[in-house]
């Protein structure tokens, strides 16, 4: 089963890490990612760019409204993610507990990634996506 570990941060989190050298961050994250690779559970991992460069598409009206960042209020923002292929949610939680750079205001949200096998297989769009995934070696 695949699980996404969504890393969330607050203004308090950013303040706590403001004086940490970026090379130290890369080293710490690299070691953790190396453990995930060595364990054979890492599917993908990415950090997200600064929220000041964010664009938000709000679908509350038609046409949707596009707003440039930064947010007016940053109570909590996503700042990166890992996708792990593990046996259970409990295993995903154990990996999340080991994630580096956890501190004030930091949280990890863990959500299972649905498999294409869980969708109606007679649907033409699911069939098209399955064919694409097969052609790219994803299934």
The pLDDT tens digits for 58-114 are 899 999 998 887 665 666 778 899 999 999 999 999 999 999 877 788 889 999 999
Residue of 30 and 74 predicted with greater confidence: 30
**Using CA atoms, how far apart are residues 105 and 103, in angstroms rounded to an integer?**
6
**Residue 17's pLDDT is what?**
79
**Using CA atoms, how far apart are residues 61 and 64, in angstroms rounded to an integer?**
5
**What are the domain boundaries of the chain?**
2-135
Residue of 50 and 64 predicted with greater confidence: 64
Question: By C-alpha distance, which of 4, 25, 14, 31 is closest to 98?
Answer: 31
User: Stretch 45-59: mean pLDDT, rounded?
Assistant: 84
Structure tokens at 18: 């403001």
* Domain 2-135 coded CATH 1.10.730.10: no
The residue length of the chain stands at 139
Q: Return mean pLDDT, the chain.
A: 89
């Amino acid at each position: 089963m695949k699980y996404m570990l969504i890393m969330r941060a607050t203004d308090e989190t950013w303040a706590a890490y403001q004086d940490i050298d970026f090379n130290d961050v890369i080293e710490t994250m690299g070691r953790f990612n190396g453990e995930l690779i060595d364990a054979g559970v890492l599917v993908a991992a990415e950090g997200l760019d600064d929220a000041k460069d964010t664009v938000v598409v709000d679908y509350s009206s038609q046409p949707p409204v596009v707003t440039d960042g930064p947010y007016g209020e940053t109570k909590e923002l996503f700042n990166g993610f890992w996708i792990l292929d593990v046996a259970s949610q409990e295993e995903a939680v154990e990996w999340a507990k080991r994630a580096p750079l956890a501190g004030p205001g930091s949280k990890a949200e863990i959500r299972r990634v649905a498999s294409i096998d869980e969708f109606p297989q007679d649907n033409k769009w699911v069939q098209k996506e399955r064919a694409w995934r097969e052609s790219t070696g994803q299934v």
